[in-house]
Amino acid sequence: MISGEEAPFSSGLSRKSLLAEINRMSKELLWFDDAAPKVMNPRNLTDQRGRTGLLLEYSIPHAINNLLRGINAGYVTSNQFGDFYFARGKATLWVEAKSLDLDAEEYAGNLATPLTWIPPTALLMIIVYQYRFDGSITFPHVLDLGVFDARTIAKCRDYGWLELGKKQILLDGASYQTKRNKWKREEGNLGKLGRIARIADTTLLDTPFLNPSERNEIANFRKFLYVFEFSRGNALINRVAGLVHSHDVEVTCGHNKDMDLLWITYSIYKHSYALVMRYSDLSPRVYSNSKIREVVPNKAETWIMVTPKFGYSIYSETEKRTQGRKINIETDGKLWEIVTKRA
């Protein structure tokens, strides 16, 4: 990970100052109030998140130009790699930016560009933001920002997720040869940041394809996304806690880092609930429901088990009663229906 002491921040651009400037611009340009049109369905929500992320990404060059002198930041229009660039004299850094919404049911952020198309001086910038559409946060808050060497992350994708050498990769980076010797196209999904980080285990890091510096970069990349996964899980737990507490119900929250678990327990109309979220799948450790019940200090009648992608299942004791595709956090009303549903 490129820290505050290294390029491109060595020219006086600190992470803290960049976050502050992006948020200032976000508040000025993307602010809304209760009179603004509301998101009416999940499709609109997806579109709005995509547009918000794009606007935040393209505000970065303006923020840099406002903060620094002697460095020119502008946009890349070739549509091959990079959203913008930093230029100082004859030196140029190409930057690909990805925005991750803390409230999104699933995070993606594609890096499907073939390695040969990524310049040697290329960076991957990840922006974590939160933008609630219920009026509680009136503009997109940029919470975190990570900068990584783009070619290293692409190598992790190729030798990890895509298993280069076992499968044949097409030049567009979006297809590979399956065991049945047929081409399979996944519509650009082979570059998702979560998948890349998930596959970077000890086996990959010990391969000769990576040098020590690259292994360290990938470890920091995984650490950054792990913190993001915990933050988005914690945001959901806190929202449920606030929602339940607003109905004069006492809640208890808990966290088990060894098992990547967050939970909340509460009782409504003399019926006890435990909502348990496995917030990360960056490690292969997946525990059984019986093991999870031993950790959560509550004898709940209804258990709501939530996956890292916000899929959920509702159990009564050990029997599954209901399975939902995703927890819909679009509105508090729909979320309340889930967290008060009896098994």
CA max distance for the chain? 70
- Least Cα distance to 3 among 209, 216, 196, 202 occurs for 216
- Least Cα distance to 62 among 9, 22, 122, 14 occurs for 22
Residue recorded with tokens 């299942």: 313
Dump pLDDT digits (tens) for 40-49: 666 777 788 8
Dump pLDDT digits (tens) for 76-133: 887 778 899 988 888 888 999 999 998 887 777 888 788 888 988 899 999 999 987 6
Q: Are 138 and 111 in contact (CB under 8 A)?
A: no
* 239, two tokens: 């929202």
Question: What does pLDDT average to over the chain?
Answer: 81
CA distances from 161 to 30, 155, 167, 215, 310 (A): 36, 10, 11, 15, 22
**Residue 204 to residue 159: CA distance in whole angstroms:** 7
In one-letter notation, the amino acid at residue 239 is R
Span 121-146, mean pLDDT?
Answer: 87
Q: Around 23, how many Cα atoms within 13 Å sit in the side-chain half-sphere?
A: 17
Look at 13 and 275; give whichever has higher pLDDT.
Answer: 275
Instruction: Starting at the earlier edge strand, list the strands of the sheet with 91-101.
Output: 72-75, 84-88, 91-101, 122-130, 141-149
Architecture of domain 236-339: 3-Layer(aba) Sandwich (3.40)
Percent of residues, the chain, with pLDDT higher than 70 = 80
Span 283-290, mean pLDDT?
Answer: 79
* 8, two tokens: 């491109």
* pTM of the predicted structure, to 2 decimals: 0.86
Q: How, if at all, do strands 91-101 and 122-130 pair?
A: parallel
Range from 26-40, 211-225, 304-318 that averages highest in pLDDT: 211-225
Residues near 117 by beta carbon (within 8 Å), at least 6 away in sequence: 80, 81
Residue 49 burial (10 A CB sphere; 0-12, 13-18, 19+): buried
Domain boundaries, the chain: 9-199, 236-339
**pLDDT at position 183, please?**
46
**Residue 265 to residue 299: CA distance in whole angstroms:** 9
268 strand-pairing partners = 271
**pLDDT at position 157, please?**
83
135 sits in the region (left: phi over 0; alpha: psi -120 to 50; else beta) called left
Q: Residue 128: helix, strand or coil by DSSP?
A: strand
Residue recorded with tokens 């914690």: 234
**Residue 302 to residue 339: CA distance in whole angstroms:** 10
Look at 95 and 173; give whichever has higher pLDDT.
Answer: 95
Predicted confidence band at 229 (pLDDT cuts at 50, 70, 90)?
A: very high
Dump pLDDT digits (tens) for 27-36: 998 887 777 7
DSSP codes of every residue in 9-43: GGGS--HHHHHHHHHHHHHHHS---TTSPPP-SHH
Look at 147 and 158; give whichever has higher pLDDT.
Answer: 147
Residue recorded with tokens 């010797």: 181
